């Protein structure tokens, strides 16, 4: 039985359990709700949760664990030589799984009978052709080991699925049965449900944390792989970024510094645009603007946040770049000759800054609004003007939140890709001139991963090292933000 069916059955069971348990509770109280310990719906919820939560939890764990266990078990049948190398082993197992899935699919499509699929042999049947006929394309002919392991894999999966179905349904029934038997007028259903809800909430929080850890781990192994092929010192201290896809790693120089330089330079330009504009508009909106003005301007500002970054990229490429070029370029009106092309750190930085305005303004606006009116009254009561009050009382009080807003914007700026690709160019350079083309870490991650290089080459794996380093930098930034916020909180609240 497929997992979706099991899921549906459990859900139906839970719904039925709700009605049954609620009825039983009411019956035990003689139909008088006041004699129950908890509201009737709590008894129903308790039974429904008992039916659904453990069973669905088991199902989820099974779905994750079963392929891993089968993989581990089946792969022990591979030749020793293949097992020794992690890369070849995973390739061979991918073949095995593909054949196994293909056979299952062929059976379900009616192209093969169940017996036929179970008794295939490499010499008698052309498995590749038969599977191709139902739309499963295999990369190479199926050899004997692969077929044998694929059959083993199919058997394991089939047995596993049967056990899974029985076990999950049994757990659901048993757990529901226990909850149903406990249901009586003095059963503390409310307390049980409240505790269960608490556990569910904690589990939800854990999923978010575990995902973060998972992301780190998914990067870490490839990063270590990269550093085993390319010296770490050259990566972190290298001042040249020159990957060569054709030279098979020989001629590549993968220096990190020009990329992080570009990232930081463009981010700083963006923040230099976004922080003053965003903060000033937040102050205007929260302190000066009348209600009607605010109700129009605030949503308009927030529209900026909804524009896809690729559109900002086009704006940078088609409008801002040429505009800057006409001012600072070789033939520009200022005759400065600082800029040689439309794509430059300045172009991307300016446009990114515009993109970040709503991040800064919207958050700062909320924070400034949350400064108690008593602070303003106190300041006005001493004969301070509005701008004195804002500068000396409101902004210091709102500072932790504003710093948080700015660092959030900084994280966005560092992670931004599309505007950089279109606005800043692709050349990695360690230049001080903001009118020169630069590139960022994220833009290079994209280009390294979408290139046609071999996956196992340092040129591709460097993307993971870049991602990991970027992750560490943004993490450090967030920790710094937390530290600043906490420091000022202690002082002010």
Partner 1 sequence: MYDVPNSERTVTATDTKIAAKGVQVYYGDTHAIKDVDVQIADKTVTAFIGPSGCGKSTFLRCLNRMNDTIDICRVEGDIHIDGEDIYDKRVDPVQLRAKVGMVFQKPNPFPKSIYDNVAYGPRIHGMARNKAELDDIVESALRRAALWNEAKDRLQAPGTGLSGGQQQRLCIARAVATEPEILLMDEPCSALDPIATAQVEELIDELRQNYAVVIVTHSMQQAARVSQKTAFFHLGNLVEYDDTNKIFTNPTDKRTESYITGRIG
Q: What are the residues binding partner 1 (CB under 8 A)?
A: 290-291, 372, 374-385, 388, 392-393, 396-397, 491-493
Give the nearest distance from C-beta 488 to partner 1 in angstroms: 8
Give the nearest distance from C-beta 378 to partner 1 in angstroms: 4
Query: Quick one: 377 or 454, whose CB is closer to partner 1?
Result: 377
Structure tokens at 72: 């581990």
**185 within 8 A of 35, measured Cβ to Cβ:** yes
3-state helix, strand and coil shares in percent for the chain, rounded to the nearest 5:
75, 0, 25
Query: Quick one: 242 or 491, whose CB is closer to partner 1?
Result: 491
Query: Quick one: 159 or 385, whose CB is closer to partner 1?
Result: 385
Strand partners, 339: 329
Is the CA virtual torsion 406, 410, 416, 420 positive or negative? positive
Helices H / strands E in the chain, number of each? 20, 2
Is the CA virtual torsion 250, 256, 261, 263 positive or negative? positive
Residue with tokens 């169940």: 114
Structure tokens at 466: 């870049």
HSE-CB of 214 using CA atoms within 13 angstroms: 6
Structure tokens at 64: 């994750």
**425 within 8 A of 344, measured Cβ to Cβ:** yes
Outline where DSSP puts E strands in 201-284.
241-242, 253-254
Give the nearest distance from C-beta 410 to partner 1 in angstroms: 24
Query: Quick one: 337 or 378, whose CB is closer to partner 1?
Result: 378
Give the nearest distance from C-beta 399 to partner 1 in angstroms: 9
Query: Quick one: 331 or 490, whose CB is closer to partner 1?
Result: 490
Structure tokens at 174: 């048993």
Query: Quick one: 375 or 446, whose CB is closer to partner 1?
Result: 375
Give the nearest distance from C-beta 369 to partner 1 in angstroms: 15
For residue 18, give every residue at least 6 positions away whose Cβ sits within 8 Å of its Cβ, in sequence order, or none: 44, 45, 47, 48
Query: Quick one: 151 or 286, whose CB is closer to partner 1?
Result: 286
Give the nearest distance from C-beta 286 to partner 1 in angstroms: 14
Query: Quick one: 191 or 392, whose CB is closer to partner 1?
Result: 392
Give the nearest distance from C-beta 364 to partner 1 in angstroms: 16
CB atoms near residue 331 (< 10 Å): 8
Give the separation between CA 475 and CA 105, rounded to whole angstroms: 45
């Amino acid at each position: 039985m497929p997992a979706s069916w099991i899921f549906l059955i459990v859900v139906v069971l839970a719904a039925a359990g709700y009605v049954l348990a609620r009825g039983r509770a009411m019956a035990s109280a003689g139909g008088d709700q006041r004699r129950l310990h908890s509201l009737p719906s709590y008894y129903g919820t308790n039974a429904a949760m008992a039916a659904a939560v453990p069973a669905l939890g088991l199902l989820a764990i099974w779905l994750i664990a079963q392929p891993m266990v089968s993989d581990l078990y089946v792969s022990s049948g591979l030749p020793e030589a293949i097992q020794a190398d992690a890369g070849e082993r995973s390739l061979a197992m991918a073949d095995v799984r593909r054949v196994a899935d293909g056979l299952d699919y062929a059976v379900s499509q009616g192209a093969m009978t169940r017996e036929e699929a179970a008794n295939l042999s490499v010499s008698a049947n052309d498995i590749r052709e038969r599977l191709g006929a139902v739309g499963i394309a295999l990369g190479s002919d199926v050899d004997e080991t692969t077929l044998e392991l694929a059959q083993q894999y199919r058997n394991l999966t089939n047995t596993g699925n049967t056990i899974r179905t029985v076990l999950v349904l049994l757990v659901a029934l048993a757990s529901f049965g226990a909850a149903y038997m406990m249901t009586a007028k003095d059963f503390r259903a409310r307390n049980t449900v409240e505790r269960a809800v608490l556990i569910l909430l904690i589990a939800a929080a854990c999923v978010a944390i575990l995902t973060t850890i998972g992301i780190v781990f998914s990067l870490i192994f490839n990063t270590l792989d990269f550093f085993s092929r390319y010296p770490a010192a050259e990566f972190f201290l290298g001042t040249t970024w020159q990957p060569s896809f054709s030279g098979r790693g020989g001629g590549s120089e993968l220096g990190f510094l020009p990329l992080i330089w570009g990232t930081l330079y463009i981010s700083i330009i963006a923040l230099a645009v976004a922080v003053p504009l965003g903060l000033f508009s937040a102050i205007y909106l929260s302190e000066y603007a009348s209600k009607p003005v605010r109700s129009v301007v605030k949503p308009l500002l927030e529209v900026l946040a909804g524009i896809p970054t690729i559109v900002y990229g086009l704006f940078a490429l088609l409008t801002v770049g040429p505009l800057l070029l006409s001012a600072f370029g070789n033939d520009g009106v200022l005759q400065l000759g600082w800029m040689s092309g439309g794509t430059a750190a300045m172009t991307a930085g300016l446009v990114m800054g515009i993109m970040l305005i709503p991040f800064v303004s919207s958050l700062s606006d909320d924070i400034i609004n949350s400064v108690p009116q008593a602070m303003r009254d106190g300041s006005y009561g001493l004969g301070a003007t509005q701008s004195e009050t804002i500068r000396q009382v409101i902004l210091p009080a709102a500072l932790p939140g504003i710093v948080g807003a700015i660092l959030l914007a900084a994280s966005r700026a560092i992670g931004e890709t599309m505007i950089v690709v279109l606005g800043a160019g692709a050349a990695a350079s360690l230049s001080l001139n903001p009118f020169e083309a630069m590139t960022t870490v994220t833009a290079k991650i994209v280009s390294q991963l979408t290139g046609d290089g071999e996956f196992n080459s340092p040129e591709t794996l460097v993307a993971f090292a870049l991602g990991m380093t970027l992750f560490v930098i943004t993490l450090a930034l967030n920790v710094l933000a937390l530290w600043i916020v906490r420091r000022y909180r202690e002082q002010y609240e």
